[in-house]
Structure 1
């Protein structure tokens, strides 16, 4: 077996992307990534790659001309620990079920980070940062996955553990599958929502006709509210806008909202998505006209909402205003009003207080995810 390494190479990039499709094409739950998006992320034009101080290297393991595994090793200059030490990442992981193959390609990636970049702490899986995909699923493989959910072959966890990685942080998702339970969960924040509205708090829904300006506000409030989250790093506004411009088509009125306090200060946000997994899966990783037609045909099949993200400022936390509870109510209520009786409360960190808002579902944890760390 040999391992090919490259940074920018048009043909090898195609092979790198192709392997992901080959290894997952028979998995009916898998949501294919868009090929052009992967090509962009692996190109010199990608925001991460344009930033001085960042670096990466891609690896493909082959035997007798057949691709067996792939991954990338990355140095994000902004990803540092509390002591100021650089943290590396390993992402875009795909591999056949062969621990020796996995060990060899992981060793090469670790060597790149340690010996060529002086890094002694590595997170994985993480594609550049937490914005572009990270974490392995560890539980919930039998469930219908939602867009943006970590999804991988179960044995990938074993690959990392056998290579010396240890679990460092965990998340979970909970699905509520009937109207009555959603109403019960929603009611937990209703009183607080009405109280805050009474004293002047406003909930302003993102408007597709004025999305560009509102995305700037969303970008700012996410950076403020997530600043102390585990492994959080900012991305450029340009990249954020490119990523979130799809909200113009993939959400409903009230599903994404900016929250302002009684003085008009931006204080929080909520983000609910329509689960368009069936429609996206039908596109098979392409964005051509035919693929867009397939998306349109399958879009009406979406019958589930995903409470994907929310946050409030440190000032609101210190005030104990209850804005988090009120925002939670608002997002769930908007989904109910839009006709959804199933909802996934997605990607909650194990130590997040939001679990308490789920009532009897607080410890259900249909799906779980883990980020691993290797210390040299």
Structure 2
């Protein structure tokens, strides 16, 4: 008999976090999430202060065969004047009956809390966190903070009646296979920006608290027109910034500033998934912590995580300067691979800019929706 039960205890939560490890144990591209990070995300993240989340586990014969989280994102509904609910943390054996039970459970939970319009996902918790179902590019491991799933997931979701909301694109560069025009023109572009009192500089880690306040304003304005965007609260952005500070390389954390006002930022991150892939079940103890500490210098790839420019400062050359600086550092440090993304499929301006520097659209993720 197949049943779905709510996650209500520490042991339930551990089973919820650990289920993907068993499901993907024979998949060469799977990267386990760090247990402590997933536990804190699901229990301590500031998201829970003003939103609701309930995790569920599907069982058959005493064995976990699926998981899902029902997410009521009040911030999304207020910002978008909607009454939507979300599903996230979805993993399932290749069984449409199990998937239907999970989606039915989430739908019922959300309806009981007043949701009347659409069920959307997958998001963990919103588009500010890892999101989207991988539908193209199953032949390599995900980069840091990107999702991964079996190809059959799309059939499970389609069979329940979901339809596409929007696709997200991840771009890849192999070695030196990029157009370095932005690097060659970097000095000239920066001189042009200086005539408008705009300078490109590194994030000041010694004054990180004040930098975070100003970066949050840019973040919440640069992406506010994107599909599914939800502004981060002060506490949520601080939580994200503190996490990123632990892993960022200062040479890849850049801002554009005009007369003391930050108007854009670009951030690339070392791809720690190269290390996480070797940490069994995402446990830092007993040996995972040593792998993390001693293998940082061996990371060979980066992910361009975010690049945003506030309205009124676009098409001035700031984007090219940020990309050019990141590419210059990528080359200087001897990295072998880079990923940018994701980007919305309908963001023509940024997608054309990435194509111009020979970005390869090698992975595609999908956000789905269904009327409740």
**Does the 8 Å CA contact 2:182/2:323 hold for their aligned counterparts?**
no
- Aligned equivalent of 1:264: 260
- Aligned equivalent of 2:341: 346
Q: Is residue 368 of structure 1 aligned with residue 364 of structure 2? A: yes
- 3-state SS of 2:139 partner: coil
- Aligned equivalent of 1:192: 189
**Does the 8 Å CA contact 2:100/2:160 hold for their aligned counterparts?**
yes
1:138-175 per-residue CA deviation (whole Å, 9 max, x = no partner) reads 11110232111221111111111110111111111221
**Does the 8 Å CA contact 1:167/1:373 hold for their aligned counterparts?**
yes
**5+ residue gaps in structure 1?**
none
**When the two structures are aligned, how many residues end up with a matched partner?**
370
Q: Aligned partners of 2:36 and 2:182: how far apart in 1? A: 39
Alignment of 1:219-368 (within 5 A): 219-261=216-258, 263-284=259-280, 285-288=282-285, 290-317=287-314, 320-352=315-347, 353-359=349-355, 364-368=360-364
Report the Cα offset of residue 189 of structure 1. 6.2
Q: Aligned partners of 2:334 and 2:195: how far apart in 1? A: 27
Report the Cα offset of residue 215 of structure 1. 2.3
**Does the 8 Å CA contact 1:283/1:291 hold for their aligned counterparts?**
yes
- Aligned equivalent of 1:209: 206
Alignment of 1:98-247 (within 5 A): 98-179=95-176, 181-184=178-181, 186-187=183-184, 191-247=188-244
TM-score for the superposition, normalised by structure 2 = 0.91
Report the Cα offset of residue 280 of structure 1. 2.1
- Distance 1:270-1:20 versus aligned 2 partners, 3 A rule: same
- 3-state SS of 2:178 partner: helix
Report the Cα offset of residue 129 of structure 1. 1.4
**5+ residue gaps in structure 2?**
none
- Distance 1:344-1:198 versus aligned 2 partners, 3 A rule: same
**Does the 8 Å CA contact 1:307/1:332 hold for their aligned counterparts?**
no
Report the Cα offset of residue 75 of structure 1. 0.7
- Aligned equivalent of 1:22: 22
Q: Aligned partners of 2:115 and 2:217: how far apart in 1? A: 33
- Aligned equivalent of 1:49: 48
RMSD: 2.4
Q: Aligned partners of 1:134 and 1:169: how far apart in 2? A: 12
**Does the 8 Å CA contact 1:91/1:126 hold for their aligned counterparts?**
yes
TM-score for the superposition, normalised by structure 1 = 0.90
